[in-house]
Structure 1
Amino acid sequence: MARDTLTQEHIVLTAIELLDEEGLEGLNMRSLGKRLNSAATAVYWHVKNKDNLVLLCGDHVWHEVALPDPAAVGWRAAATTLATGLHAMLGRHPWLVPAFGTYLFYGPGKARYDDLCLAVYEEAGFTGPEADRAAATVFTFVLGSALGSAATASLNRRLGRDGGDPDELIAQTMAKATEVAQRFPRLRARLEAPESLEYASGPERTFEFGLQMLLGGLEAELAGRGAR
């Protein structure tokens, strides 16, 4: 693809596809240029460097999160929609989770999300810096909850590059972890209980439970203020 037919949007969309498949470590201008059927040097006419490209990609995917109307659905339902939408987006783009450790993301996509988060917690009754802290608390929980799927995606890529069978290697590791856990009474009891299989196969339920407990705590704090 010639330099003058490339657009920044096309480059960003292609880079997101590459990031989704190969992770941060797999993104470089040469591999991106190959996907674009263009010389790597042509990409630099539209993005400054890899860091700039990651920031553009990170902000672009933020537009995937639907924005509810807190005045129409209530603050807690809106907060749930925002958090679950963000969690799902991070699941589709697991490279974004570790990227928070090395990039400071900003842009209109993230800003629209952040602005509505503040509106939601102000609608709930938090004011000033409290609304910022409430929004940051929920965001931190969502990001932490997405770590598992991001780590699994990264591990599968690494094991695949090493030439092994990811499923087999993970199964071997889990067997060793189970052997260690058997020495501890509470872990052993959970491994032997039927509910442990339900927990292991239902991480989404754990996320939903934690989110509602967190939002319930914020709601209780506001209710407690009114009772005093």
Structure 2
Amino acid sequence: MSPKRAPGSDGAASAMPGGVWLRAPRPPSAGGGAAQPALDRERIVAASVALLDERGTAGLTMRKLAEALGVHATSLYWHVAHRDDLLDLALDAVFGEVTLPARAAGDWRADVTAFMDGLRTALLRHPWSGALAGSRPLLGPNALARSEFVYAALVGAGFRGDDLSAAAGAIANYVIGTVSAEAAWRHGDARDETAGRRALLARLNGSAEAHPTLAAHPPSLRTDWEGHYVRGRDFLLAGLAGSRAGD
């Protein structure tokens, strides 16, 4: 017997990443009186995030999630169409951890800096989320609320049209990219990271003729990840500010 799927689970919107946000939600059932608390999306999302934190994206399956929730796997299909829904829901929950100020500062660079720093903190708290954020459309309500904040700040700075979307994309992609790189390098303990960098240095030294600039300016054995992020962030914002200077 095939499991019952959420509405629209066989449509194009369901098959694509982010499809969970494009599908009409299932109306609540009219039943009641269950001895166990009702399985709902909030519980599913919280358990998905916990599994992802513990095991990474490869460790999140419908079966393992059902075990964590103490339900049969088919029960999940009343709420989600497939595993991709879980990834989108969990990722948007991480974006919900980015605290937005109740009121914009009125200084677009201060507002964008606050967003970028908050997003970096939230993504680093969940090491799987950076790479995932770079591979899926960010269509959930929490992600859209943060995009609204950034767009409003940039519109206030004078960005419009293609410049606006490019600037907003550069801001988000910088944070997501640096977090993904940091998480990749720091997947183990500090000794693993140092060993990896030693191997990189040895490779560059061994191929100095092919890569003379890289060999002459190698990365350090221990990266100041926060300092590296801040310098790049400030370069990016200075460049965006400079692009408005002549307007």
TM more than 0.5:
yes
- Count matched residues: 210
Unaligned runs of 5+ in 1: 157-165
Q: Which of 97-106 and 203-212 deviates more?
A: 97-106
1:205, distance to aligned residue in structure 2 (A): 0.5
Q: Tell me which residue corresponds to 2:153.
A: 120
- Range that drifts further, 45-54 or 91-100: 91-100
**2:134, 2:177 within 8 Å by CA — same for their partners in 1?**
no
Map 1:212-227; keep pairs closer than 5 Å: 212-225=234-247
Q: Quickly say closer, same or farther: Cα 1:74–1:170, change in 2 above 3 A.
A: closer
Identify which of 157, 167, 181 aligns with 1:148.
181
Deviations 1:161-181 (A, max 9, x none): xxxxx7766555443322223
TM-score, normalisation: structure 1: 0.80
Question: Equivalent residue of 2:145, what SS?
Answer: helix
What's the offset of the Cα at 1:110?
A: 1.0
Structure 1 residues 173 and 206: CA distance shift in structure 2, 3 A? closer
Q: Percent identity?
A: 34
RMSD: 2.7
* Higher-helix-fraction structure: 1
Q: Distance in 2 between matches of 1:117 and 1:189?
A: 39
Comparing 48-57 with 63-72, greater Cα deviation is found at 63-72
| Counterpart selection for 1:33 from 47, 66, 81 | 66
Do the aligned residues in 2 keep the contact of 1:19 with 1:26 (CA within 8 Å)? yes
Picking from 182, 190, 194, the partner of 2:205 is 182
TM-score (norm 2): 0.74
Relative distance call for 1:2 and 1:208 in structure 2 (3 A) is farther
The 1:82/1:168 distance shift into structure 2, 3 A limit, reads closer
Quote how far apart the aligned CAs of 1:187 are.
5.0
CA–CA separation in structure 2 for the residues paired with 1:144 and 1:47:
29
Q: Any stretches of 5+ residues in structure 2 without a counterpart?
A: 1-33
